[in-house]
Amino acid sequence: MNDTYTGAVPSKHQLIWQDMEMGMFVHFGMNTFCDQEWGEGGDSALLFHPEQLDARQWAREARQAGMNYLILTAKHHDGFCLWPSAQTDYSVASSPWKNGQGDVVRECADACREEGIGFGLYLSPWDRHEPRYADKEAYDDFYCAQLTELLTGYGDLMEVWFDGAGSEGRVYDWPRIIELVRRHQPGAMVFNMGEPTIRWVGNEDGVAPYPCWNTAESAPLSMFAAESATWLPSTPKWVPAECDVPIRRHQWFWHPDSEDRLHDLDHLMDIYYRSVGHGCNLLLNLSPDRRGLLPELDAARLQELGAEIRRRLGTPAAETSGEGSELTLELDAPTAIGHLVLMEDISRGERIREYAADIRIGGEWRELTSGFSVGHKRIEPLTPVTAEAVRLRVLKSEGEPLIRSLQAYAAV
Ligand code: FUL
């Protein structure tokens, strides 16, 4: 093979992460009890009392819906810690929940392990409670100490989520923060700040543009910053995007009487096509309520999503793989096709720049769709069309195209 590809390639851990495709974000904390999205850090720890908290329900619902990881807000902007941090008393340890003996991070880590899904943590750099936030050096020490507790106390983490919101214009000690992550959790993805290994897609709608490439020099920092995040010079070129979105429109935390904001199944499927279907990961947020449980309605909608993805894209009618700029997939019999799925072997880079897909019917070929990026995955939903065979033609590539999978799904 005359392989001329010299572009970026993913790390082993990025490959594992991209294969996970879907995760559940869990926003839970002081805001849950105060009907707010951004607490100012002054709400009493006594308000935190999720009497029926069951992290197993969260992890079970995630796994059953086909989500392969879960990311919990260990500390949001209000500074309240879901674990008994030794760095502050603004935490579960000062709450009436389990008489101050509880640890939500521990329960969630254990639940994810039991369910066999990955576990990651969100630790807001912006902290509206901690008085040391005003003192850069002192806060860097505080933040690094909190992060160390999380990186060393809860087993393997697959992702650490650094949220840029509220930190516009603020500089943290990124080299030190990244060194801690690398030292204690070498397999963890780093989200969007410092020396990220994955990037924010740039909106909170859960959708990626198309084409969406796996390489990037920068990404937006937050919804509130015009400029992009400043990454350390050693940031890898391969930095795939993650699409985050709450299942209730614009609400990351639980609020009473907001069921009408729950996205319907069509909308969630559209998000799926425009995130996973554009080669990115989808991080869909569900919010436990004041009981500490995912509301039944939200959990049911999540399961509807999982079931619909399985219904449409469960088992391909035919599948093949191969190298080179043309690949044909023969179907056993003429079949009404509802989806095409293309995947590159990205372990050796993202090589396809432009492609077309054809179908053969009655012995005649005709072009059906065309596009640009494929990367980890490209899902093409189709108006059902009958075909005897499908052919992928790579029109432009860097180096030899390597097709991990070309799949055709029967229309359902
Ligand atoms: C944003 C935050 O401000 C929201 O509260 C939420 O955590 C979202 C995932 O990121 O930047």
Single-letter code of the amino acid located at 217: E
Residues 6+ apart with CB under 8 A from 364: none
**20 and 44 fall within a common domain:** yes
**339 and 276 fall within a common domain:** no
The single-letter DSSP state of residue 333 is E
Q: What is the pLDDT along the chain (412 residues), one digit of tens a residue?
A: 568 999 999 999 999 999 999 999 999 999 999 999 999 999 999 999 999 999 999 999 999 999 999 999 999 999 999 999 999 999 999 999 999 999 999 999 999 999 999 999 999 999 999 999 999 999 999 999 999 999 999 999 999 999 999 999 999 999 999 999 999 999 999 999 999 999 999 999 999 999 999 999 999 999 999 889 889 999 999 999 999 999 999 999 999 999 999 999 999 999 999 999 999 999 999 999 999 999 999 999 999 999 999 999 999 999 999 999 999 999 999 999 999 999 999 999 999 999 999 999 999 999 999 999 999 999 999 999 999 999 999 999 999 999 999 999 999 9
Predicted TM-score (pTM) of the model is 0.98
Q: What CATH number does the domain containing 215 carry? A: 3.20.20.80
Helix axes 136-153, 174-184, angle to 10 degrees: 10
Give CA 127 to chain center in angstroms.
23
**254 and 352 fall within a common domain:** no
Residue 63 exposure: Cα atoms within 13 Å on the Cβ side: 15
**155 and 266 fall within a common domain:** yes
- State the Cα angle at 186 between 184 and 189, rounded to 5°: 115
388 domain-assigned: yes
1 domain-assigned: no
CB 180 within 8 A of CB 209: no
Ligand 1 contacts CB of residue 163 (under 6 A): yes
Taking the CA of residue 165 as reference, the ligand 1 atom at the shortest distance is: 11
Determine which residue's CA is closest to atom 4 belonging to ligand 1.
Answer: 252
**180 and 266 fall within a common domain:** yes
Ligand 1 contacts CB of residue 225 (under 6 A): no
| pLDDT for res 1 | 55
Cβ neighbours, 10 Å, residue 130: 20
**176 and 275 fall within a common domain:** yes
**253 and 376 fall within a common domain:** no
- Residue 61 CA to residue 71 CA, distance in Å, equals 14
Please name the residue that has the structure tokens 């009497």: 51
| pLDDT for res 60 | 99
Residue to probe by mutation, ligand 1, list 204, 224, 284, most atoms within 8 Å of CB: 204
Tell me how far the alpha carbon of residue 261 lies from the centroid of ligand 1, in angstroms. Answer: 17
- Residue 24 CA to residue 118 CA, distance in Å, equals 10
**309 and 329 fall within a common domain:** no
Ligand 1 contacts CB of residue 242 (under 6 A): no
| pLDDT for res 227 | 85
328 domain-assigned: yes
258, 284, 313: which is the final residue of a domain?
A: 313
Nearest to 25 by CA among 218, 236, 294: 294
The parent domain of residue 366 ranges over 318-410
CB 344 within 8 A of CB 352: yes
Ligand 1 contacts CB of residue 173 (under 6 A): no
309 domain-assigned: yes
256, 279, 313: which is the final residue of a domain?
A: 313
- Residue 267 CA to residue 23 CA, distance in Å, equals 17
7 domain-assigned: no
5 domain-assigned: no
**347 and 368 fall within a common domain:** yes
CB 348 within 8 A of CB 406: no
- State the Cα angle at 406 between 334 and 205, rounded to 5°: 110
**343 and 274 fall within a common domain:** no
**288 and 376 fall within a common domain:** no
Cis peptide bond N-terminal to 211, omega within 30: yes
4 domain-assigned: no
- Residue 31 CA to residue 35 CA, distance in Å, equals 6
Ligand 1 contacts CB of residue 252 (under 6 A): yes
| pLDDT for res 102 | 98
Nearest to 391 by CA among 337, 313, 314: 337
30 domain-assigned: yes
313, 343, 375: which is the final residue of a domain?
A: 313
Cα separations in angstroms, 129 against 30, 44, 165, 186, 340? 12, 11, 15, 30, 50
- Residue 256 CA to residue 296 CA, distance in Å, equals 13
**301 and 329 fall within a common domain:** no
3-class state of residue 65 by DSSP: coil
The single-letter DSSP state of residue 267 is H
Ligand 1 contacts CB of residue 253 (under 6 A): no
| pLDDT for res 176 | 98
Region of 57 please: left (phi>0), alpha (psi -120 to 50) or beta: alpha
Q: What CATH number does the domain containing 325 carry? A: 2.60.120.260
- Residue 96 CA to residue 89 CA, distance in Å, equals 13
The count of domains in the chain is 2
Give CA 240 to chain center in angstroms.
10
Ligand 1 contacts CB of residue 165 (under 6 A): yes
Single-letter code of the amino acid located at 297: L
